[in-house]
A = this chain, B = another copy of it.
Amino acid sequence: MAYSLKDQVAVIGVGCIKFGDNFDQGYEEMAVEAAFAAFNDAKISPDEIDAAWLGTYSPAQGHGKAAVSLGDALRLYNKPISRVENFCATGTDAFRHAVLAVASGIYDTALVLGVEKYKDRPGRGLAREGVHPYHNDGSTAPGLFALAATRYMHTYGLTRETLAKVSVKNHYNGSLNPKAHLQKKVTPEEVLTAPIVAYPFGLYDCCPTTDGAAAAIVCRADLAKKYRNDYILVKGVGLSVTSGRPFMDPNFDYLGFKATQHAAAQAYEMAGIKDPLREINVAEVHDCFTWTEITNYEDLGFAKKGEGAKLIEEGRTTLTGDIPVNPSGGLKSFGHPIGASGVRMVYEIVTQLRGQGGQRQVKDPKLGLVHNVGGPGAVSCVAVLGQP
């Protein structure tokens, strides 16, 4: 088979709430604010939505369990609505489903809503639900990613000083972004002397726990002009799932994630991208930890394996570099409410492609990338968005 999409689907509206410790907003309130921001952005009425996808990873008491959480929040009734869940790629995969649905010709328009509530509930996703293959041995996301990061440091000579530069860059970008969770700059010294969470990751190498919601509206590309002239095309989507136990896989080299490599290959094939470093102008990638951003550079084809650190060392992924990465502030600074993150990244890339990034706007991007990896390492979803 050959993956093809043929510019059939456009993004006509995006919305994102202020991420953070949203103790003043419940799950439904965040959902409503994000969705109506997208409705207003697209100048579309909720009645015109043909189908919807909800991305929530961690359901809790009375919300997030199923599609009805979206329907009831928005009073969007008598429509096809589904919930998708795919670890940390939940939001991007929900977006992918809306794209598939519109490309199928069955629906003209679709809503994607990513919502996650973590700050006023007992515990958080994995351990609370008792369903994650790792939790019995006490392994956590920082612990598992740290195993890979230390192996990578040993193999390629990466240092904590270089990791800190990812944190400094993303915190700087977030300081320019009024919707980010942590709008503060950090210095290399602050990063390097922060309490260690799991070596080599200190507090500022880790993304925070955050509440948030984001939404996007896609439609048939041939109908997009009905809504706006500056619509954005979906050029490709990719999803790949490896073993749910990559850290137990004897073939896992701890140096990067196959899931990202395969998801990117699918999306690049659809988008006709041969040289991602030169062709992609802006990227939102999954920086759950500083090391993850560096391995993502490689797995996404921006650098050869083992050479990702050069991009951050040479400043090429800053707002003014040739391949700006995480202009939003990334998971590190914007926060990572799991089901919302991928949709929030779509929001950021669409905003950048429209030239509406304000202080964090990168220069004239034509093609942008959205990437999540989760599981940890088991699943990755990639979307490529571009100017018509």
Q: Give chain A's interface residues, CB within 8 Å of chain B.
A: 1, 3-6, 50-51, 59-72, 76-87, 93, 96-97, 99-101, 103-109, 129-133, 237-245, 258-259, 262-263, 266, 270, 375, 378-379
Contacts and interface: CB of A to CB of B under 8 A. Distances in A.
Nearest to A244: B68
Contacts of A108: 1
Contact of A71 (B51, B66, B241): B241
Given A3-B107, A78-B262, A97-B100, 11 more contacts: A51-B239, A66-B86, A68-B243, A77-B241, A78-B240, A78-B241, A80-B238, A81-B241, A82-B86, A100-B100, A104-B104
Contact of A244 (B71, B84, B270): B71
A93 to B, nearest CB: 6
A78 B258 contact: yes
Contacts of A71: 241-244, 378
A67 to B, nearest CB: 5
A103 B97 CA distance: 12
The 4 A-B residue pairs with the shortest CB-CB distance in the complex, in nearest-first order: A68-B244, A80-B239, A103-B104, A81-B241
A105 B72 contact: no
A61 B6 CA distance: 41
A95 to B, nearest CB: 12
A133 B176 CA distance: 40
A320 to B, nearest CB: 35
B375 A131 contact: no
A245 B80 contact: no
Nearest to A108: B1
Contacts of A77: 241-243
Contacts of A238: 80
Contacts of A86: 66-67, 82-83
A131 B62 contact: yes
A102 to B, nearest CB: 8
18 contacts: A63-B131, A65-B85, A65-B132, A66-B87, A69-B244, A71-B242, A71-B243, A76-B241, A77-B243, A78-B240, A78-B241, A80-B239, A81-B379, A100-B100, A100-B101, A100-B106, A103-B104, A104-B104
B68 A379 contact: yes
A379 B67 contact: yes
A85 B87 contact: no
Contacts of A60: 131
